[in-house]
Amino acid sequence: MRLFLPCALSLLATVALPAADTNLAAGATNQLGLDLRKQLGQPEENFCLSPYSIQAALAMTFAGADGETRAEMSRVLHYPDQGEAVHASFAALQKSLEQMAKETEKIAANSKKFGGPSEPITLAIANRLFAQNGYDFRDSFRTLATKFYGAGFELLDFRNNPERDRQHINSWIEEQTRRRIRDLIPPDGVNKSTRLVLANAIYLKAPWQSEFSDRATELKPFHVRGGEPVDVPTMREQATVGYARKSGFTAVTLPYAGRDLQLLVILPDENNGLAKLEDQLTASLLKDYARLDAQLVALDLPKFKLEPPTIFLSKALQGLGMKTAFDIPPQSANFDAMAARKPNDYLAISEVFHKTFIAIDEKGTEAAAATAVAMMAMAAAPRDQPKPIEVKVDRPFFYAIQHVPSGACLFIGRVTDPR
């Protein structure tokens, strides 16, 4: 039986949850993002990943794991094996994100007259379980998915028409992500053995707290892949933003509307220094950079848009140590907390699909992501201002879209060629 997990974006149902903090979910999200970056490493190429989307999808899958499979997933995903603590933390993080977006609606209504952001942040997060009609999923698993992730069951018929159901799931993801994520599940991504697709999607449209001026955008040199410079459209802004100068690199944070969401840019000193910089990044470092001291900065930042194809994550996750979930070795997968194991019928993950979109320009950022895990049935400023600090992002750099209160990175990536 194949279980398929996509990540998509939409609003979850409101439910009463126990009090929980976001630290567990934020830390696990950031660490998994950095772990996968190393596994998927092509340091000379553009890269975009939504560790939040991946974690949301896999957290629902984790809810159905048991035995050694649960222990492996706990280690790889950086979860403590403490009952519902993992799920409560992810629910708290989502609630905080949705509240952040809601607050910017009030800000936008009052800020136009003062030159602030004229539009609120649009954020949608959705989860759904697409299940084989008639398959005996445990009520406790279904209840947990609904309670913490707002993920209701939609009954499909993979046994008789997997291609129709694949297109249906892709259409749902496309709708949730405002058409930014299309064709997440490739042909044959689900088949007659598929029994469940756990889907999560995220869509974000965030205006800057202070927009870049269109008139200041010019063609300026960028050292593509650390080599010879090529002219690319580059934005220019002088503003008081988060700034830190460290040995070998510079970090800058640019706030979006409301200041609870920001773009983190980490720029190596050397044109070809990004790979070395990325090897130094840690989850705790990313969290520390959620709140940098404010400095007056004159910033050059290239515009860019990335639409990478679907990424297949199974090999990367197996490389991190999550093997029995993929039934390696055979008959080792244990998702008995999701559905009772039978002698010739048990669940295992066959593939994890992930796809992203991100665009940054003078107005702000638009981003989306979807992740899918497939499981298959196995037989068996003051008046006298100081001089601004010049920061020219004219070489490959690391970036993250970061939730400031928790430090969680919704998106991470690198830009080696902004064209």
Query: For 52-111, how does the pLDDT look when each residue is reduced to its tens digit (9 = 90+)?
Result: 999 999 999 999 999 999 999 999 999 987 778 999 999 999 999 999 998 888 777 776
The pLDDT of residue 374 is 81
Is the Cβ–Cβ distance between 88 and 148 less than 8 Å?
yes
Task: Tell me which of 8-12, 41-45, 157-161 is least confident.
Answer: 8-12
Q: How far apart are CA 310 and CA 352, in angstroms?
A: 10
What are the Cα distances from residue 120, in Å, to 42, 84, 109, 111, 214? 35, 33, 8, 10, 20
Query: For 275-303, how does the pLDDT look when each residue is reduced to its tens digit (9 = 90+)?
Result: 999 999 999 999 999 999 999 999 999 99
Helices (H), 13-138: 23-39, 51-62, 67-77, 85-111
Q: Which residues of 273-290 are buried (b: 16+ CB within 10 A; e: fewer)?
A: bbeebbeebebeebbebb
Residue 55 CB contacts under 8 Å (≥ 6 apart), including other chains = 25, 28, 29, 32, 77, 90
- Beta-ladder partners of 261: 403
Look at the domain 214-303+382-415 and name its fold: Alpha-1-antitrypsin; domain 1 (2.30.39)
Is the Cβ–Cβ distance between 242 and 154 less than 8 Å?
no
Both tokens of residue 81? 């094996």
The pLDDT of residue 16 is 39
Nearest to 353 by CA among 108, 218, 166, 210: 166
Tell me the pLDDT of the chain averaged across its residues: 89
Report residue 6's pLDDT band, with 50, 70 and 90 as the boundaries. Answer: very low
Query: For 303-347, how does the pLDDT look when each residue is reduced to its tens digit (9 = 90+)?
Result: 999 999 999 999 999 999 999 999 999 999 999 999 998 888 899
Mean pLDDT of 139-168: 93
3-state SS string over 209-236? CCCCCHHHCEEEEEEHHHCCEEEEEEEE
Residues of the chain with CATH 2.30.39.10: 214-303+382-415
Task: Tell me which of 14-18, 48-52, 328-332 is least confident.
Answer: 14-18
Report residue 44's pLDDT band, with 50, 70 and 90 as the boundaries. Answer: confident
Both tokens of residue 172? 């749902």
Nearest to 250 by CA among 360, 395, 361: 395
Mean pLDDT of 249-273: 95
Is the Cβ–Cβ distance between 378 and 409 less than 8 Å?
no
The pLDDT of residue 9 is 31
φ and ψ at 371, to 5 degrees? -135, 140
Does 11 score more than 80 pLDDT?
A: no
401 SS3 class: strand
Is the Cβ–Cβ distance between 355 and 369 less than 8 Å?
yes
Is the Cβ–Cβ distance between 417 and 225 less than 8 Å?
yes
The pLDDT of residue 13 is 31
Look at the domain 2-207+306-378 and name its fold: Antithrombin; Chain I, domain 2 (3.30.497)
The pLDDT of residue 116 is 57
Nearest to 419 by CA among 306, 310, 311: 306
Q: How far apart are CA 71 and CA 73, in angstroms?
A: 6
Residue percentage of the chain with pLDDT more than 70: 91
Query: For 191-207, how does the pLDDT look when each residue is reduced to its tens digit (9 = 90+)?
Result: 999 999 998 999 999 99
Which stretch of DSSP H or E encloses residue 147? helix 139-149
Does 34 score more than 50 pLDDT?
A: yes
The pLDDT of residue 347 is 93
- The CA-based diameter of the chain, rounded to the nearest angstrom, is 77
Mean pLDDT of 33-39: 93
Q: How far apart are CA 169 and CA 186, in angstroms?
A: 11
127 SS3 class: strand
**385 against 253, higher pLDDT:** 253
How much is the CA Rg of the chain, to the nearest whole Å? 22
Residue 368 CB contacts under 8 Å (≥ 6 apart), including other chains = 9, 177, 178, 180, 181, 201, 202, 203, 204, 356, 357, 358
Of 12-16, 149-153, 367-371, give the range with the top mean pLDDT: 367-371
Does 12 score more than 50 pLDDT?
A: no
The pLDDT of residue 386 is 74
The pLDDT of residue 111 is 65
Residues of the chain with CATH 3.30.497.10: 2-207+306-378
Residue percentage of the chain with pLDDT more than 90: 80
- Beta-ladder partners of 203: 368
